[in-house]
Amino acid sequence: MAYRWNFQPVFENVDVLLIGAVGTLRLFVTCLVLGLALGLAVGLARYSKSRWLNAPAACFVELFRNTPTLVQILWFYYALPVLLPFEISPLAAAVLGIALNASAFFAEIYRGGIQSIERGQWEGAQALGMSHAQVMRRVVLPQALRRMLPAFTNRGIEIFKMTTLASAVAYVELLQQGKSLASLNFNPIETYTAIAVVFFICLFPLVQATYAIERRLGRSD
């Protein structure tokens, strides 16, 4: 006997899901911004010639790229509070886990992008008497950022998908709300399908945009 799909309970509880969506967005934006900022700092440190900056940055990158994000989130939620005099909220744990992971990836993207600018650009700017910082700010970073755009958007999409991991520590995002609804209404099929569809609808245009950006850059670069 074929299963009878019934999305009625899902539609009736849109407000519950909306709360989750807000939580997802909040988490996503926080992690994206923190990840980009921290990633830039680490990326520049990685690129630096000084061992004092380079080595710790390299360790940071390797550590946070090579441990699974879920493990990091759980570590921040269960393990860290033991060392600290205060609790870590689900949001804090999720942000720490995802943003640090993201910053490690962003750091490598920054580094790769900066390194891809040919020596000629550096020399031309330095010959004008620009300091290292000025060259970076006025000549190298603006060009590098264009090239890094596809990698950035790819990573951004990954971060968006990773927000679902926060449900493991009961942070109120879309999947977490879905879990509640599914157990309440005994309709996991419709609930999880609906949530999957929401994510797909949100991300598919972004993915297509990334392809378009890659194509456009491939032509003009």
Partner 1 sequence: MHAWDFSSVWASTDFLLLGLLNTLRLTGSALLFGVPIGLGLALMRLSPRTWLRLPAYTVIEVFRITPPLIQLFWFFFALPILIQVEMTPYVAATLTFSIQSAAFFAEVFRAGIVSVEKGQWEAGRALGMSPQQLMRRVVLPQAVKRMVPAFLERSIELMKTTTLAATVSYMDLLFQTNEVAQKTFRPLEAFTATALVYFVVIFGASVLVRSLERRLAVSGEGVVH
For partner 1, the binding residues (CB under 8 A) are 3, 62-63, 65-72, 74-75, 78-80, 82-83, 157, 161-165, 167-168, 175, 178-179, 182, 188-189, 192-193, 195-196, 199-200, 203-204, 207
Q: Closer CB to partner 1, residue 38 or residue 175? A: 175
Rounded CA separation 152/32 (Å): 10
Mark out the alpha helices in the chain (DSSP H runs).
8-12, 14-47, 51-65, 69-74, 80-83, 90-115, 119-127, 132-135, 141-162, 174-185, 188-220
Rounded CA separation 29/112 (Å): 24
Rounded CA separation 153/15 (Å): 29
Instruction: Answer yes or no: are the C-beta atoms of 43 and 106 closer than 8 Å.
Output: yes
Q: At what angle do helices 188-220 and 14-47 cross, to 10 degrees?
A: 40
Q: How far is the CB of 13 from partner 1 (least distance, A)?
A: 17
Q: Closer CB to partner 1, residue 11 or residue 200? A: 200
Q: Closer CB to partner 1, residue 48 or residue 183? A: 183
What's the N-to-C CA distance of the chain in angstroms?
Answer: 57
Q: How far is the CB of 159 from partner 1 (least distance, A)?
A: 11
Q: How far is the CB of 15 from partner 1 (least distance, A)?
A: 20
Q: How far is the CB of 89 from partner 1 (least distance, A)?
A: 16
Q: How far is the CB of 59 from partner 1 (least distance, A)?
A: 11
Q: Closer CB to partner 1, residue 20 or residue 136? A: 20
Q: Closer CB to partner 1, residue 141 or residue 162? A: 162
